[in-house]
Amino acid sequence: MTSKEASDFTKDWPELQLKASSADYYFESYNHYGVHEDIFQDGVTIQAFQQAILQNSHMFEGKVVLEVSSGLGLCSLWAAKAGARKVIALETHEELVELSRRAAELNGYSEVIDVVCGKPSSIKQLPGGVEAVDIIVCVFMGFFLLYEARLEELLDARDKWLKPGGLMFPDRAKLFVSLLQDADYKRKHYDYYDEVWGFDFSCMKEAAKAEPALLDCDEVYVKASLLLVAMPFAPSSVLASLISSITSVLNLDLLHCSVADCYNMASKFKLRCRHEGSLDAMVFWFEVWFGACHKPICFSTGPESTQTCWKQTVFFLQGTTRRVKAGDEVHCMLALRKLLKERRHLDIKIACKVNTGSQQVKCSCRSASATALLFVMCRGCFRMI
């Protein structure tokens, strides 16, 4: 997408108004132990980090390692186990800092691991007179890949302390999108507003769609299939519900990307419909790569992959449902911005139009009335769900 196209697409994009209680909620909820339990029990994400560190211990041996947004310090423990000379665990929350110190002591690594309370932007000097680190590790990802404030902290730490030629674990992330057909979910969660206890609440439908849905598409579509209900997940069923091709809308090189690349981005892309169906939603997921490893390691949060705690993020499109057929091209635009620097809210604008051969449907996204035609758009502000 050119700069002019991005400017034209976002110039009529008004700011959302947030209440402080909504914006602040995450920074208290991160202290809730259930958040860490979900991540610890994610066998896909955590196993990838474990393998990346322990199977490449020759890269960590004798090195100085920094874990950014370390939480309870699991990756710091693995780095110490892999032979790192010094590990610095950087965490914002005092309660987690204390628990992380206790965990390091319980596991015999208190002499190797230093746990520091603060953000990279607020810390002038790392402990022990360390001026630069060899490796940075960070479990930075969140829903929709970017729905966390930790990525900005990671890039701050990289720019301040990573040695020239230093390594990042992970070092690349990609965000993917496809078109989704899910009439059952739409009917259950949106269309029911047409009649609620004898009253018409249809005015709520479009407002409800502005909230992104965090779904495990594997579970959704396995449960919809009587033949596959006993299976943990069913790739063929899931892929049948993805009615279009798949494309990457964001490719982050964590060694070189900027904060603007992550949180002030716009993308134009095209998806080709694989078969006939209803264009109900867009579904997003991500891949994370450890390219510095001897044998590169990657994990995916896609609907065809083993379930992770990140699930998939689905945006249901506003307006009248559009039917598409095999071969239709759907031209899409996506823009993303961070509402507040110190918070994790994201404001996302999505628009698409269907091009059916020689007849191309064009509508302006500047008017709300366009959603009643063949133009569909979605806008969502992430909040805690």
Q: What is the pLDDT of residues 360-385, one digit of tens each?
A: 443 323 222 222 223 334 444 433 32
360 in a structural domain: yes
Q: Could you tell me if 301 and 48 are in contact, meaning their C-beta atoms sit under 8 angstroms apart?
A: no
pLDDT at site 367: 24
pLDDT at site 159: 97
pLDDT at site 359: 41
Paired sense of beta strands 133-137 and 64-68, if any: parallel
Residue 279 predicted with pLDDT over 70: yes
More confident residue, 230 or 118: 118
Q: Based on the number of CB atoms within 10 Å of its own CB, is 147 exposed (0-12), middle (13-18) or buried (19 or more)? A: buried
pLDDT at site 162: 98
Percent of the chain with pLDDT over 90: 46
More confident residue, 326 or 34: 326
> What's phi and psi for 199, nearest 5 deg?
-120, 155
146 in a structural domain: no
Domain count, the chain: 2
266 in a structural domain: yes
When pLDDT is cut at 50, 70 and 90, the band that residue 314 belongs to is confident
Residue 188 predicted with pLDDT over 50: yes
Mean predicted lDDT score pLDDT of the chain: 79
Tell me, yes or no, whether 10 and 36 share the same domain: no
Tell me, yes or no, whether 232 and 280 share the same domain: yes
260: Cα separation from own chain's centroid: 16
Least confidently predicted of 14-18, 127-131, 222-226, 272-276: 222-226
When pLDDT is cut at 50, 70 and 90, the band that residue 149 belongs to is low
Tell me, yes or no, whether 135 and 76 share the same domain: yes
Tell me, yes or no, whether 331 and 271 share the same domain: yes
Tell me, yes or no, whether 8 and 51 share the same domain: no
More confident residue, 116 or 197: 116
How far is the C-alpha of 174 from the C-alpha of 288, rounded, in Å? 7
Tell me, yes or no, whether 320 and 274 share the same domain: yes
156 in a structural domain: no
How far is the C-alpha of 1 from the C-alpha of 330, rounded, in Å? 16
265 in a structural domain: yes
Residue at a domain's end among 139, 163, 196: 139
Tell me, yes or no, whether 180 and 314 share the same domain: yes
- Give the side-chain half-sphere CA count within 13 A for 154: 30
Stated pTM of the model? 0.79
Residue at a domain's end among 96, 118, 139: 139
Least confidently predicted of 254-258, 317-321, 343-347: 343-347
pLDDT at site 161: 97
When pLDDT is cut at 50, 70 and 90, the band that residue 35 belongs to is low
**Which residue is associated with the tokens 């559009």?**
322
Which tokens in the block code for residue 138?
């960070």
Residue at a domain's end among 80, 115, 139: 139
CATH of the domain at 111: 3.40.50.150
Residue 355 predicted with pLDDT over 80: no
How far is the C-alpha of 332 from the C-alpha of 353, rounded, in Å? 7
CATH of the domain at 189: 2.70.160.11
How far is the C-alpha of 342 from the C-alpha of 27, rounded, in Å? 10
Tell me, yes or no, whether 92 and 194 share the same domain: no
Paired sense of beta strands 113-117 and 86-91, if any: parallel
> What's phi and psi for 125, nearest 5 deg?
-140, 130
Tell me, yes or no, whether 79 and 198 share the same domain: no
pLDDT at site 19: 45
When pLDDT is cut at 50, 70 and 90, the band that residue 28 belongs to is very low
pLDDT at site 203: 78
Tell me, yes or no, whether 272 and 368 share the same domain: yes
Tell me, yes or no, whether 123 and 197 share the same domain: no
pLDDT at site 11: 79
52 in a structural domain: yes
150 in a structural domain: no
Tell me, yes or no, whether 9 and 83 share the same domain: no
Domain that holds residue 46: 31-139
